[in-house]
Chains A and B, each alone.
Chain A
């Protein structure tokens, strides 16, 4: 607003156009990033964010358009060239090597040498310095694979920071981080920005964009829609720019009379993961399970489904006490789990939508010998239609579908098993706004039809909007049970960080 000297432009991309066979991925996109700013880029999946970033990183060549870094035109733009011109990329999927040490990972590709040998002393010192800068106490000598996911995320950041880049792209960096780690990350980003580094921040979490971003660029359908100061925009405005229409109800909530107990867990424990967990879910009810990453949320979910059975405690489902020691017993008892790690544990990429849908229930559409293919096709087509799987081609392999549609298929396969209790672990992570609304709708319908839902999410606004009740885990122990009326971001967060232990 004031007439400061205009900041130097770190990166200028002009008229970037990129098409793939049959798809126009980017059309005449302009982007200008200043030194010392955090520039957020938002848009639905398929809006072109990742294509644009892959062009910036040198993985794709644009069909048309120019890239200018630090005032110099970029020619021969390859990943190597991009890196040497000071561009660092931090993806949501880690780019680390589990079998090497933290220090080796940080220096990977450019290890310091003494003569022909690796200069381990210099390498470890360098790693220690960078890790120190990031306020972590990770030992550079640890084997990377022995660290937790969020620690690995920090190593990933350290690796990029160590190269002293002038432009850093964060692509969904917080998706596997808990609140505390997110705070650390934001501190790091702020520090980097203050040193004049240009930051590009990509996230589906608009609250984060509001908090950390200076400016925000909205992409939609491969086009640049608008670039605005974050101070002059609201999340609602961003959403409507992203989807091109007003989305007045992001989280639909059906008001339903709660029924009898579907699930009751008493004194559930697994050594080192969670202890004496007691919770319940009623018919028509959506219960949230909140907590930081590592608080034991996912472990509780896995235990209830039988992936890692309980060591102590009882599970009662619809009035019957059950033993669940394997996913098969879980399914038989009427439990379904939509796992956190969609690619790793949710989908079978090479199988078709149809085959993915019916996998857990395949024995139910089989006579003594063979699968009823006709019946299978009919069930699956109807379900795909109901869940708005797009494109509606159930014979295509699942790996050609977008993340949101893959998630719908994972959800759908569990709906087919007709569970009494549906457990959802981060059901909308990395899913675009449109698909997210669809998924919430599906969950709501399931509860309406008489099911009980136990839902884990790192996104508090989502939990607050969707859930009737929220249990909060802190270091493996239930620290609070909060009703819908009392639930606020503050109350949940206080319990999750152990500041308040409610009865």
Chain B
């Protein structure tokens, strides 16, 4: 028997067209976009342009990183993101005068994280459908944030922190550094830690994970708490760098983040996914947005093109998966 058990580990996993598609699709897509971009416009492949693109997408990218954990753990999606972004931004600017920028920013983070924790309790512990729960909390939090500022705009006061947020280190804007930093923490968190393994297990089969002594409720709740925190961080950073904030500051961010995660290839049903792939997804969505502008399309076309790409990517993935499943 034992002689037959030769290590045949690597034989099968990478050879199917589906697996090949899913490993190579992201780098290829990025490459294709870069090629199209450099052909289409001389200003595309410049440090300046690319830095701007990344800078503009780091905010929503942060949320996509959190949303990856939500989807992987079978939490479908967090639709309360815009509310938590608004909370983070408005609390920061609203409290700036009374408690100073640093503390105000912390307050903003705290309040948004609280929103995430509430989501986590409702979804992880009370086991309410995530779509409903986050629609509800989103509605409440957005209302509260508007109540807070009476529905209008809040302006920032100049501060050292906002100067820092707007600055660059080694020629790369702080915004991008923060995104890279968070991604570098979250990638091993999902791929290499017990918590990451738990997330994959909870998303893969909730009951079996529970019966394997995985802290299922905590794991699911933590994903939402994390996303709340990151949405808050996004809000704080946006408010400080823009110098103003309105309640609609994060509108649509939930969809962009979901799009990035899905383009990255994480299953909406949970059980698989990776932060690195989400980073790829964020890059792809960012480049598409940039190309649309450089190619002279109206900016309203962004949704149309991203939507079409989501359908294409997920459709092809589903096709390969079905084909592989038939073996």
Contacts and interface: CB of A to CB of B under 8 A. Distances in A.
Contacts of B12: 393, 396
B-side interface size class: 20 to 34
Contacts of B7: 381, 392
Interface of chain B: mostly helix, strand, loop or mixed: loop
Given A20-B327, A371-B192, A355 B211 contact: no
Interface in B186-238: 188, 192-194, 197-198, 200-201, 204-205, 207-215
Contacts of B213: 326-328, 330-331, 360
Nearest to B215: A328
Nearest to B192: A370
B210 A327 contact: yes
Given A327-B212, A337-B211, A394-B9, A366 B193 contact: yes
A349 B205 contact: yes
Contact of B200 (A22, A355, A388): A355
Interface in B5-42: 5, 7-13
A347 interface: yes
B1 interface: yes
A369 interface: yes
Contacts, number: 97
Contact of A393 (B11, B192, B272): B11
Interface stretch (A32-40, A85-93, A244-252, A338-346): A338-346
A327 B211 contact: yes
A133 interface: no
Contacts of B193: 366, 369-371
A359 B13 contact: no
Nearest to A336: B213
Nearest to A370: B192
Most chain A CB atoms below 10 A, which of B188, B198, B213: B213
B204 A346 contact: no
B2 interface: yes
B88 interface: no
Contacts of A392: 5, 7-8
Contact of B204 (A344, A349, A385, A393): A349
A385 B2 contact: yes
B185 to A, nearest CB: 10
A465 interface: no
B271 interface: yes
A322 to B, nearest CB: 15
A22 B9 contact: no
A339 B271 CA distance: 21
A305 B210 CA distance: 11
A350 interface: yes
Given A22-B327, A327-B212, A393-B11, A348 B5 contact: no
Interface string B170-198: 00000000000000000010001110011
A207 interface: no
Contacts of A360: 212-214
Interface string A128-142: 000000000000000
Contacts of A327: 210-213
A319 B93 CA distance: 61
B129 to A, nearest CB: 16
A348 B327 contact: no
Interface string B79-113: 00000000000000000000000000000000000
Interface of A: 20-22, 305, 307, 326-328, 330-331, 337, 339, 344-351, 355, 358-360, 362-363, 366, 369-371, 373, 381, 385, 388, 391-396, 413
